[in-house]
Amino acid sequence: MSIIIYEHINFQGMSKEFTSSVPNLVSENFNDCISSLKVIGEPWVAYEHTNFQGSQYVYEEGEYATLDRNDITLYEHTNYRGRSLVFTTETNLCYGNFNDVASSHKVQRGVWVLYEHINRSGAQLVARASRDMPEYGWFNDRVSHLRPLKRQFFVIL
């Protein structure tokens, strides 16, 4: 299990490989400059601030040529049918016509959290790239808020 971080997009520039937790990337000369990465083996959790503080960012096994894009498509009905909307940022669905309507999704990139209620509350469903969900079951028609887990970090766990 390891993670290789790169200074520039498309795996260019300085790089560094880690096989264990790093509480502070400042001491590794990699603070605020990671633009792409590769994850080998188990997923890695990264944090916004030093000492495992702040927002969490999840990276599953794979190559991330850029770290600036998350996309999820929500569908009105099961099996990816009916109206659909693509989201790239955190969204409170209560102010539109897609609140409590979604029953399936496809994640093009990233990791998302879908919430039953506004303001990140209620039951939660984690959505990941390459793990499309054709039906939510009891969660059908209950999504009111969604947010991507961000893709930049300073600390690796």
SS3 101: coil
State if pTM tops 0.75. Answer: no
In tens digits, the chain (157 residues) has pLDDT values of: 999 999 888 899 999 999 999 888 888 888 777 888 899 998 888 777 788 887 677 788 888 887 766 788 999 999 999 999 888 788 999 988 999 999 999 988 778 999 999 989 999 999 987 789 999 999 999 999 999 886 444 444 4
Residue 65: φ, ψ to 5°: -65, -25
Co-location of 89 and 134 in the same domain: yes
Co-location of 114 and 134 in the same domain: yes
Indicate the number of domains in the chain: 2
CB neighbour class for 46 (10 Å; exposed up to 12, middle 13-18, buried from 19): buried
Co-location of 10 and 61 in the same domain: yes
**In this structure, what CATH number is given to the domain that contains residue 64?**
2.60.20.10
CB neighbour class for 51 (10 Å; exposed up to 12, middle 13-18, buried from 19): exposed
Range of the domain at 34: 2-68+152-156
Q: Are the C-beta atoms of 43 and 61 separated by less than 8 Å?
A: yes
Co-location of 75 and 61 in the same domain: no
